[in-house]
Chain A
Amino acid sequence: MKKTKITAAGLTFAAALAGGSAVFAADTVNAAFFLEWATPNQIAKVDKAYDKAMGVDVNWVDFSTGVAMTEAMLSGDIDISYSQGLAPFVTAIQQGAPIKMVGIAVVYEANNCFVRNGLGITSSNATELEGKTVAVPLNTMADFAFKSYMNHLNVDMAKMTIVDQAPADGAKSLADGAVDMACIFGGASAKAAGEVGTPIMTKAEKVAAGIGSFDVISVTEKFATENPDLLRTFMEVTEESNRAWTGSDAQVTKVAADAGMDFETTKAQMADFIFPTAAEQIATFFNKNGIAAQAAASLGLLYSNDSDGAMIAKTLDGSYLK
Chain B
Amino acid sequence: MLNAIVHFSVQKRYWVLTLVLALVCTGYWSYQRLNIDAVPDITNVQVQINTEAPGFSPLEAEQRITFIVETALYGLPQLDYTRSLSRYGLSQVTVVFEEGTDIYHARNLIDERLASIKTQLPPGLDPVMGPLATGLGEIFTYTLSADPQAVQENGQPYDAMALRELQDWVIKPQLAQVPGVVEINTIGGYDKQYQVQPDPLLLLQHGVTLAQLLASLESNNANTGAGYIEKYGQQFLVRAEGQLKTIEDIENIIILNQDNSPVRVKDVAQVIIGKELRTGAATQNGLETVMGTAMMLVGENSRSIAQQLAAKLTVAQDSLPKGVKAESVYDRTTLVDKTIKTVQTNLLEGALLVVVVLFVLLGNIRAALITAAVIPLSMMATISGMVQAGVSANLMSLGALDFGLIVDGTVIIVENCVRRLSLAQRDSGTTPQLKQRLALVYEATIEVVRPSLFGVAIITLVYLPIFSLSGVEGKMFHPMAATVVMALLAAMVISITLVPAAVAVFLKGKISEKENVLIKGANRIYVPLLEQALKGRAVVLALAGVLVTTCIWLMTTLGSEFVPQLDEGDIALHALRIPGTGLEQSIKMQITLENRLMEFPEVNRVFSKIGTPEVATDPMPPNVADTFIMLNPRDEWPAPNRSKEDLISSIEKALQELPGNNYEFTQPIEMRFNELISGVRADVGIKIFGDDLTVLRNTAQRVSAIVAETQGAADVRVEQVDGLPMLTIIPKRDLLARYGLNVQQLQDMVATAVGGSQAGLIYEGDRRFKLTVRLSDEIRNHLPRLLALPIPIRQGGYVPLSEIAKIQKAPAPAQISRENGKRRIVVTANVRDRDLGSFVTELKKKIPLQAEIPSGYWLDYGGTFEQLESASQRLTWVVPLTLVGILAILVIAFGSLKDSLIIFTGVPLALTGGVLALWFRDMPLSISAGVGFIALSGIAVLNGLVMLTFIRELRVSGETLWNAVVNGAQTRLRPVLMTALVASLGFIPMALNTGTGAEVQRPLATVVIGGIISSTLLTLVVLPVLYHWLHNVKHSEP
Question: Do A and B interact?
Answer: no
Give chain B's interface residues, CB within 8 Å of chain A.
Answer: none
* Contacts from A to B (Cβ < 8 Å): none
